[in-house]
Amino acid sequence: MRKTGTASTASTMARSADPDRAGIGRRTLLTGGIAGAGIGAVLGAGAAVGVGAALRGGDTASAQPAPFGGDALPCHGQHQAGVATPATAHVRYVSYALLPGTDRAALERMLRILTGDIEGLSSGAGPLADPEPELAARPSRLTVTVGVGPGLVDRVGAGLRPEWLAPLPEFGRDRFDGDHDGGDLLLLLQADDPMPLAHAARMLDRDLRSFARPLWSQQGFRTARGAEAPGTTMRNLMGQVDGTVNPAPDDRDFADLVWLDEASPASGPGGWLAGGTALVLRRIRMELDTWDRVDRPGRELTIGRRLADGSPLTADAASPGGGGERAPADFAAVGSSGLAVIPSYAHIRRAHSTDPGERIFRRSANYDTGAESGLLFACFQRDPLRQFVPIQRRLDELDLLNEWVVHTGSAVFAILPGFASGGMLGAPLLAARV
């Protein structure tokens, strides 16, 4: 008999009430982490001492830091985890197509099952019927973020879909391979360790077999945790610092750019997406063999930034704002030749907008299949038609970087609002009426 989210949630509550799991229990000693009361976050900051020292209450000088694999991030809240939470080292996107018989009632069962198992997996307890719970015991900041495509929303009810939840307009340089496009349901899994990520993907795929079939899967990576200082901007496989000009979750206008609210038409009829956001995912293949033939000055003119530190070509220690990656680019600056220092075709000039509302929150990852390398470009925003599309049109028209990149896949998903303990993912959608 297929389990329900209620049963899974009840099981999780029962496990937390087990006296062996209270305080620092046997499982905590084995996993090296505690998924509650903010302790996982402390371990993630590298501030905790080893468990043995904590029990002894002394001699912390010789204690070793607890391994980070026990870190668990909460899955409950107004927003789903995995969007504004800190980026992890590994990411996997899995898209599904609904089976013909998956109607509204089946979707409710599916979302209830997913809710319960996401609660278990992200906490390190694992799903109720997990045959290998040991693989879930060290979640390593695992998050599972659920998105829905246009086909799923249409099955819930005609007229519920916001305008932007559809394939993007065609761009002249798109060369889609047909293997990484669209979908009815998306699972976005992120973790610092590929083991809990792979295990979670398999458990959730098992949940979905009666409701949907796998459509495509894409896996990416960033720099390993601890290899760089926190807050360091990632580099892509072209060597570029990737994502410098990016709103941060603690910025005043972040919510206005990213999170939907009930008053926004982009949140769908009845505001069922309030607390959610829009995800655009683009698979971008990099032609690294030909990129390697371009000299360093040519690469920097193509991007508009120095490869060494990501600083704009117009920045130096004496310029306004100083030098470095965060220095503002001076698009009006001209050199001794009378030409613009940052050319008209440079990537950062084409991506730049004077409209403060025309910004997106980027969360990209590299991919390398052995035969192909590139970028899984992901961005979150309220409305892709008004935020992502204008930027991409400018890049499509005159970005010299297009000589070395090819967009081979594209998908748009509505990231569902968060949920409370005892609640269910997608409940506002199922309750919505036109």
**pLDDT digit string (tens) for 103-147?**
999 999 999 999 999 999 999 998 888 999 999 999 999 999 999
Question: What pLDDT was estimated at residue 6?
Answer: 42
Classify residue 46 as exposed, middle or buried by CB count within 10 Å of its CB (0-12, 13-18, 19+): exposed
Nearest of 237, 345, 244 to residue 300 by alpha carbon: 345
Q: Which of 71, 242, 383, 399 is catalytic?
A: 242
Question: What pLDDT was estimated at residue 318?
Answer: 63
Cα Rg of the chain, angstroms: 23
Classify residue 394 as exposed, middle or buried by CB count within 10 Å of its CB (0-12, 13-18, 19+): middle
How far apart CA 36 and CA 123 sit, in angstroms, is: 9
CA 108 from centre of chain: 24
How far apart CA 258 and CA 88 sit, in angstroms, is: 20
242 is catalytic: yes
- In angstroms, the Cα distances linking 426 to 6, 187, 286 are 15, 13, 36
Question: What pLDDT was estimated at residue 43?
Answer: 31
Q: Dihedral (C-alpha) 52, 55, 56, 60: value to the nearest 10 degrees?
A: 60
Q: What is the pTM of this model?
A: 0.85
Size (the chain), residues: 434
Other beta carbons within 10 Å of 300: 20
Residues 6+ apart with CB under 8 A from 184: 95, 96, 97, 98, 148, 149, 150, 151, 152, 212, 215
How far apart CA 108 and CA 391 sit, in angstroms, is: 36
How far apart CA 293 and CA 259 sit, in angstroms, is: 42
**Ranges of the chain with pLDDT below 70:** 1-66, 317-322
Question: What pLDDT was estimated at residue 102?
Answer: 98
Question: What pLDDT was estimated at residue 14?
Answer: 39
